[in-house]
Amino acid sequence: MKTNTLVYGELKNLGREIAKTIDAANDNKLQSKERAANDSKLQDDEQSFQDSKPCVSIAIITDQNVAALYLNACVESLEDQGFHVFCKVIPPGEESKNGEVYLSILESMAKDGITRTDGIVALGGGVVGDLAGFVAATYMRGIKVYQVPTSLLAMVDSSIGGKTGIDLDAGKNLAGAFHMPSLVYQDFGTLSTLPEEELINGMAEIIKYGVLAGGEFYELLTPDEDGNIDLERLIRMSAEYKMDIVSRDAKDMGERQLLNLGHTFGHAIEKLSNYEIKHGFAVAKGLALIADLSGRHGWCSEETRDSIVGTLDIWGYDLSIPCDMNEMLDAIAVDKKRKADYIDLVVPTVIGNCELKRMSMEELYKCLL
Ligand code: ADP
Ligand code: ZN
């Protein structure tokens, strides 16, 4: 599967960057024609391609919070480049990631006359990114999506890798598709308005990448003597780390599973709290628990365990486990019913290396209790 392009810049340049992406795609088409054509024929083709460059419509999907802050800048930037812009603004929050909202957006895009050669901009956090990505994956069997994440969690995780979807009554993300964005465009300036809680929510995923990558990345997770942290650098390192893994394992068959570090327990905790505990905060608890488990069973040293827990502590996470282990195992088992009888637990061995440990539910039960 083709990997997406990651670009950092200001929202006011979004239109230009999307136009460049479209031009590059057209150039690629020309290049493949080139192989088949002789020189004089190619010149004709090139000319006709430029002349027939279509007027592209873009549907911006965003939520009310983000619209109030950043929609105008995006619309202006796209219109400056000659795009025809439509806006779809949804209420903020996970509740909007449902079938009803999804269908209403598809219907309104059809009414607007959006075609297969047009595109979607997903402007917002993970909710908007997942929903808009799924709309793009399915509208007329798939149109281009440009992910413009504005939350920390979306910048380092959900906007990258092409997983899209909506929630069903039976559970989160149960309907979805893989659909790679043609561009991921990140403006760090948008983080200035993100509530502190959402920053900490996203930081847990960054810590996860740091544990996986180790080295300088891991060291950057600890503030310097003056209490400063290079957040932009950490975002770049995280986003690129994920891009790299996804480019080798787009469909989540092997290496990409390492990105689930902290998530087996994290997902269970999130679910058992009825999603009152946000994803990142649950992942932080899951990371601490798997580090503790690994330390106890000798999969990693006690030093490594203490280091991971210490890093989470610096960021002020509440690492207590708000459910009993039996409940947790039940929640994991229910999740796994859809797959097989075993689970692939991601365990840290040292900072900078994690391994998949395949175990049955009974084995997991034994090592947890
Ligand atoms: P996620 O944590 O997966 O990104 P959401 O998409 O629900 O989840 O985003 C979290 C919340 O932050 C939402 O209420 C959203 O409207 C809000 N939000 C996203 N980006 C920004 C931003 N740059 N400034 C202010 N609020 C934002
Ligand atoms: Zn996650």
Beta bridge partners of 89: 62
Q: What does the buried/exposed string (b/e) look like for 213-246 if buried means 16 or more CB atoms within 10 Å of the residue's CB?
A: beeebbebbeeeeeeebebeebbbbbbebbbebb
pLDDT in tens, 209-257: 999 999 999 999 999 999 899 999 999 999 999 999 998 876 666 788 9
Q: For residue 190, which atom of ligand 1 is closest to its CA?
A: 23
| pTM for the full predicted model | 0.92
Q: What is the pLDDT of residue 47?
A: 45
Closest CA to 299 of 260, 264, 349, 356: 349
Q: Which ligand is nearest to the CA of 124?
A: 1
pLDDT in tens, 120-169: 999 999 999 999 999 999 999 999 999 999 999 999 999 999 999 999 99
The whole-number average pLDDT for the span 360-368 is 88
Ligand 1 pocket (Cβ < 6 Å) reads 63, 65-66, 69, 92-93, 124-128, 150-151, 153-154, 158, 190, 193-194, 198, 201
By the 10 Å C-beta count (0-12 exposed, 13-18 middle, 19+ buried), 158 is classed as buried
What does the chain come to in residues? Answer: 369
Place of tokens 């400056």: 80
The protein residue with its alpha carbon nearest to ligand 1, atom 3, reads: 126
Using 50, 70 and 90 to split pLDDT, how confident is the model at 26? confident
Percent of the chain with pLDDT over 70: 89
CA of 132 to the centre of ligand 1 (A): 14
CA of 279 to the centre of ligand 2 (A): 6
Q: What is the pLDDT of residue 268?
A: 95
Q: For residue 63, which atom of ligand 1 is closest to its CA?
A: 16
Q: What is the pLDDT of residue 49?
A: 41
Give ∠ CA 198-203-207 in degrees, rounded to 5: 165
Does 250 or 338 have the greater pLDDT score? 250
57-63: strand order across its sheet: 5-8, 183-186, 144-149, 119-124, 57-63, 84-90
What's the chain's average pLDDT?
Answer: 91
